[in-house]
């Protein structure tokens, strides 16, 4: 990583397998201030604040990492890397603040795999050039998009319709309703259901499909499909 900190590499991949996170370990702050364009990180340590404003990174993959603490007043963490085009966030610890805002003007592809404990963290996406959005996990928090006028493809993975009764399936329906209303050039949406083996899940699935297909859509060239490997 020393070469990366002095700007002699364009790509860096770090995969550290540890049983227990070492609180004394600090990931080099200079990595995010260097000229690296493609960065992949997979370990259980917390990242420095400089990750939020890396000036040269175009492709960023974060897996199992801890996001830095947010501003104490707003409890909001803002990721605003100016040239970032591809972002993957997978099972990362983002529960230590109230809102995660991804405000990246050049972002084209976003993949977000929810960590099991981040339901209480609201997500805000301001990515006017975003064309592809992939979400894995349930929808329990507030998720808002400021501008999805360029969005053409949406994939929702591991949507579970059978694990609560207080809101039924309405949170998921409302989320899709917003996407269909605002994404004027959306051409494809695929929803993959999390496998369930109960009769009630089959009823919920049918109800969910009917509600989604009945929603108005801004795009006139849209295909919506549903998939489930559930065997009853």
* Predicted pLDDT of residue 229: 52
Instruction: Report whether pLDDT(42) > 60.
Output: yes
pLDDT tens string 191-222: 998 876 544 577 888 889 999 999 999 999 99
- Greater model confidence, 43 or 107: 107
Average pLDDT over residues 107-118: 89
Instruction: Report whether pLDDT(151) > 80.
Output: yes
Lookup: tokens for 100: 């995660």
The residue with tokens 């400089």 is 50
**This prediction's pTM:** 0.88
Average pLDDT over residues 52-69: 94
* Predicted pLDDT of residue 49: 92
- Greater model confidence, 68 or 131: 131
**Highest-confidence segment of 14-23, 155-164, 170-179, 218-227:** 218-227
Q: What is the rounded distance in angstroms from the CA atom of residue 44 to the CA atom of residue 21?
A: 6
φ and ψ of 74, to 5 deg: -90, -20
Pick from 8-12, 56-60, 98-102: least confident: 8-12
Q: What is the rounded distance in angstroms from the CA atom of residue 205 to the CA atom of residue 159?
A: 10
Instruction: Report whether pLDDT(132) > 50.
Output: yes
Closest by alpha carbon to 48, among 26, 15, 17?
26
Enumerate the domain spans of the chain. Answer: 1-101+116-122
Q: What is the rounded distance in angstroms from the CA atom of residue 32 to the CA atom of residue 48?
A: 9
HSE-up of 53 (CA within 13 Å, CB side)?
A: 4
- Greater model confidence, 100 or 18: 100
């Amino acid at each position: 990583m020393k070469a990366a900190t002095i700007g002699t590499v364009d790509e860096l991949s770090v995969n550290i397998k540890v049983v227990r996170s070492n609180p004394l370990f600090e990931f080099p702050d200079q990595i995010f201030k260097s000229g690296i364009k493609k960065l992949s990180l997979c370990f259980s340590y917390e990242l420095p604040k400089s990750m939020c404003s890396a000036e040269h990174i175009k492709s960023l993959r974060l897996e199992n990492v801890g996001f830095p603490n947010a501003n104490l007043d707003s409890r909001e963490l803002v990721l605003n890397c100016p040239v970032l085009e591809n972002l993957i966030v997978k099972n990362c610890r983002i529960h230590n603040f109230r809102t995660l805002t991804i405000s990246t003007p050049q972002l084209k592809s976003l993949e977000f795999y929810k960590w099991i404990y981040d339901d209480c963290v609201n997500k805000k996406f301001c990515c006017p050039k975003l064309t592809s959005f992939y979400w894995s996990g349930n929808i329990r928090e507030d998720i808002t998009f400021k501008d999805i006028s360029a969005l053409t493809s949406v994939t929702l993975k591991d949507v579970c319709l059978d694990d609560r009764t207080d809101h039924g399936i309405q949170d998921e329906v409302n989320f899709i309703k917003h996407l269909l209303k605002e994404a004027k050039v959306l051409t494809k949406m695929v929803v993959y259901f999390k496998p369930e083996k109960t009769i009630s899940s089959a009823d919920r699935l049918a109800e969910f499909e009917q509600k989604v297909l009945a929603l108005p859509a801004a795009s006139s060239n849209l295909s919506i499909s549903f998939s489930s490997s559930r065997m009853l």
